[in-house]
Structure 1
Amino acid sequence: MKKFFKVVVALLAAITVASVVAPAATTHAATSVDIDASAAIAIDADSGKIMYAKNADQSLPVASMSKLLTVYLLRQAIKQGKVKWTDTISPSKSMAALSQNRDLSNVPLRTDAKYTVKELYQATLIYSADAAAMMLGDVVAGNQTKFVKMMNTQLQDWGIKDATIVNANGLNNSDLGSNMVAGTGKDAENKMSAKDMAILARNLLKDYPDVLKTTSITKATFRKGTNDATDMDNWDWMLPGLVASYSKLKVDGLKTGTSDAAGDCFTGTVKINGMRMITVVLHANGSGTTKRFVQTAKLMSYVVHNWQTATLVKKGESVKDHSTATVDKGKDKTVAISTSKALKTVVPTGTTSADVTKTYTSKKLSAPVKKGATAGTLNVKVKGDSLGYVDGNSGRVAVTTKTADAKAGFFRLLFRGIGEFFSNLF
């Protein structure tokens, strides 16, 4: 039924998405866009710069997009050597029963079979398999209760305080039966804001960029060659060649989410013009089965034509009027300072150097001072841009010392003090 459904909407989807994105190909960029969804955000994956936000801080149901957090924790466990791709696990009786529910998105699992972490990982990302995602949680933490606690802890570590996580797959708890985590509420559902989802996606891409090798797979077969072989068509219909793709937006991830409460959601990503963007659309409005992709295409197109990458600060750049810093009780009294790293971010199209303001805030230095010590902060702002960064960064770059300065000896300090005393008399 699901495959037949996709075929029926294919032609309509292609026409709808093309009509939304095509106008942005003109030379006149739109100055604003209204995404028809309960909430939406677009960020630059590298810098975390927000390029569009609509109701981005409100916590809303996110459904299966929750699986990105499950995948992050799995990848973390693999990196730490606690889990291997070849590790196997068998489902409990209740988990196997959940996997046989075809009203959900699932691959069939059997209690008398063993499944590798790798194939459960692929089923989770490509086909959004609900029971497979929960089994990954068992692999990482031992049971669902411990895994949900890990999920919440990870979000808090990223500075996300307003999320509600009750399970590993994003289903309403009412669908889980005995697999529900005790104390989470029989009708509870995972909730995050669009901004929270963007932070999650950004961390996943930063720490495990090869996740895109899996999220970009359009079709695969689970348990190929067995009686349980299941065709897995990726629910991300914006992937090249699928029903909601667009030739100028080579989307390669990440994850859809759908439930009665969440509506049609999508966390997408694409790299274009040297910029990797992440977009989140929560509860897309409109008609048709491709509305989340229509709104995502509109948002991505807006970003492409209204934002551009720029290096606002170069590494080793001297701060205007502040090429040196005073060192209290230092042997040399001053040290040369410069920016510790480059600030590469995105700015509105058409931004010039005249639109960029750099403000330096110094820090008191006392000898001894090592090379590379923080001497202050360079704050960079772009005229007309008030959206900020998802991590709270306002475009700051540390300014550090280029050389060291030892502490002056007793007699040097003594004679220096005498000299300053007499100079102040005149």
Structure 2
Amino acid sequence: MKKIISVVLLVLSLLSGQEVAANDFDVPAKYAIAVEASTGKILYEKNADKVAGIASITKILTAYMVYKEVNAGRLKWDDPVNISDYPYQLTVESLASNVPLEKRQYTVRQLLEASMIASANSAAIALAEKIAGSEPRFVDMMTKQLKEWGITDAKLVNASGLNNNLLGNNIYPDSGRNDENMMSAKDVAIIARQLIQDYPDVLTITSKTVADFDGTPMNTYNYMLENQTYYREGVDGLKTGTTDFAGASFVGTSTENGMRIISVILDADKAEDNPFARFIATTNLLDYVRNNYEMTTVIEAGQPFRKSSAPVLDGKQKTVSAVAQKDFNVVQKKSNKISNDITIKTNDQLTAPVKQDELVGTAQFNDKDLVGSGYLGDLPQVELLAGTQVKRSFFLKVWWNHFVIYVNENL
């Protein structure tokens, strides 16, 4: 008996130690956040609401704007893009990542790949000019898009993420000579989530380690991809960023425990001594997520939650089962008892006939274990559908039902 008690105490102490370690985790960066993409649940944050420099991470927003124009039919992947003197002359600037643009005309697809894989600044500027006519007008479009997502604290001055001091006279009106793009780690996570949810094809670009740009080989700066120095299985994006002001930064996305995780590291610690500091910080952050969180299905597709149902008027049955339209998955800590605190809201105005799979309500997960603001959007929910059809009742019964309702409401 004493041996059993000792073993139990040992196990409890180990579990307790793991929890303390998780609570004490501190990512080696000034600003950071980790988010599960499908639910928007925040899993970790550090100074995530503070605005900071983002450098070339800017290009994930530039990429979003390109995809948006293509999706709207205003732009085609094979459309030619003329390279103006402004981005062309920037290609000789040694401090600005670039690809040669000697032909002075390339396709939208070529330039997007160059901006996302090789972080080519001139490619991003050329795309901005193609879409908006000028980079300042494109910056205005970017700012408007951010506001539509609820991001109001960002400061944007160009499409590339470069410091203004490299752009000569081509800087955004009324901006300073040393201004750079700035936003919070949470802002970056919101943009990354929108990008991979709305246009997941971007991952086919950001997962490439090498690519050809009109005969010039391009190599990724993301050293967490396959065959790279800090390769991690599951990583397939997104973008690095580096300037003296912003430090070494990285917004990544990876599949961990079956979850799509977005990680943001801004201004990694000790990057001046270690060129891989941002990837080490990202690895630590993803390890933390993998060790502490998991996806849980709280309602299976086609199943009700605790016999959930919706009332039906004028039907042969008074209620119809309310079943989940799809698996309702939520993210919870591994150490917690699985929570199924669900609020069911059903339509109380359903009138027969009711078709099977007709929308009858929603189920919302009431998450009590929140980090920071909890989610990048609303609490997770799933639509509830009618599990079966409900036929209309005999006409005299229908008449009687409405007569009773009238009497109760008016007499």
Determine if the TM-score, normalized by the shorter chain, exceeds 0.5: yes
Per the alignment, residue 56 of structure 2 pairs with 64
Per the alignment, residue 343 of structure 1 pairs with 328
Per the alignment, residue 117 of structure 1 pairs with 108
Per the alignment, residue 404 of structure 2 pairs with 416
What SS does the corresponding residue of 1:57 show, helix, strand or coil? coil
Per the alignment, residue 203 of structure 1 pairs with 194
Structure 1, residues 45-100: CA drift from partner, whole Å, max 9, x if none?
A: 22222211112222222110010111111122223332222222222222211122
What SS does the corresponding residue of 1:179 show, helix, strand or coil? coil
Structure 1 residue 35 and structure 2 residue 27: aligned? yes
Structure 1, residues 199-232: CA drift from partner, whole Å, max 9, x if none?
A: 21122212222222222222344332xxxx4x43
CA distance 1:333–1:166, change in 2 (3 Å): farther
Shift of 1:312: 1.6
Map 1:24-423; keep pairs closer than 5 Å.
30-32=21-23, 33-110=25-102, 113-224=104-215, 229=216, 231-243=217-229, 245-246=230-231, 248-286=232-270, 287-320=273-306, 322-325=308-311, 327=313, 330=314, 334-336=318-320, 337-353=322-338, 355-361=339-345, 364-365=348-349, 367=351, 371=355, 375-382=360-367, 384-386=369-371, 390-402=375-387, 403=389, 411-413=399-401, 415-417=403-405
Structure 1, residues 339-384: CA drift from partner, whole Å, max 9, x if none?
A: 344321322114444x332233455426578656665443323554
CA distance 1:404–1:157, change in 2 (3 Å): farther
Q: State whether residues 75 and 208 of structure 1, in contact with CA within 8 Å, keep that contact through their aligned partners in structure 2.
A: yes
Q: State whether residues 335 and 401 of structure 1, in contact with CA within 8 Å, keep that contact through their aligned partners in structure 2.
A: no
Q: State whether residues 108 and 127 of structure 2, in contact with CA within 8 Å, keep that contact through their aligned partners in structure 1.
A: yes
Shift of 1:298: 0.3
CA distance 1:331–1:381, change in 2 (3 Å): closer
Q: State whether residues 165 and 190 of structure 1, in contact with CA within 8 Å, keep that contact through their aligned partners in structure 2.
A: yes
* CA–CA separation in structure 1 for the residues paired with 2:209 and 2:307: 55
Q: TM-score, structure 1 length as denominator?
A: 0.80
User: Mind listing any 5+ residue stretches in structure 2 that lack a counterpart?
Assistant: 1-16
For 2:379, the aligned partner's letter is S
Pairs aligned (count):
385
CA distance 1:315–1:235, change in 2 (3 Å): same
Shift of 1:154: 1.9
Q: State whether residues 83 and 139 of structure 1, in contact with CA within 8 Å, keep that contact through their aligned partners in structure 2.
A: no
- 294-303 or 336-345, which deviates more: 336-345
What SS does the corresponding residue of 1:177 show, helix, strand or coil? coil
> What is the identity percentage for the equivalent residue pairs of Structure 1 and Structure 2?
35
Q: State whether residues 44 and 275 of structure 1, in contact with CA within 8 Å, keep that contact through their aligned partners in structure 2.
A: yes
What SS does the corresponding residue of 2:125 show, helix, strand or coil? helix
Q: How large is the Cα RMSD of the aligned pairs? A: 3.1
CA distance 1:414–1:294, change in 2 (3 Å): closer
Shift of 1:168: 0.7
* CA–CA separation in structure 2 for the residues paired with 1:101 and 1:37: 29
For 1:205, the aligned partner's letter is I
* CA–CA separation in structure 1 for the residues paired with 2:211 and 2:126: 20
What SS does the corresponding residue of 2:366 show, helix, strand or coil? strand
* CA–CA separation in structure 2 for the residues paired with 1:267 and 1:122: 17
CA distance 1:387–1:61, change in 2 (3 Å): same
* CA–CA separation in structure 1 for the residues paired with 2:275 and 2:148: 36
CA distance 1:414–1:259, change in 2 (3 Å): closer
Structure 1, residues 159-205: CA drift from partner, whole Å, max 9, x if none?
A: 32322222111112232223223244443321222112112112221
CA distance 1:100–1:317, change in 2 (3 Å): same
User: Mind listing any 5+ residue stretches in structure 1 that lack a counterpart?
Assistant: 1-26
* CA–CA separation in structure 2 for the residues paired with 1:384 and 1:324: 29
Structure 1, residues 233-277: CA drift from partner, whole Å, max 9, x if none?
A: 31112222222x14x534221100112221111001122432221
Shift of 1:124: 0.5
Q: State whether residues 94 and 178 of structure 1, in contact with CA within 8 Å, keep that contact through their aligned partners in structure 2.
A: no
- 213-222 or 255-264, which deviates more: 213-222
Q: TM-score, structure 2 length as denominator?
A: 0.82
CA distance 1:420–1:351, change in 2 (3 Å): same
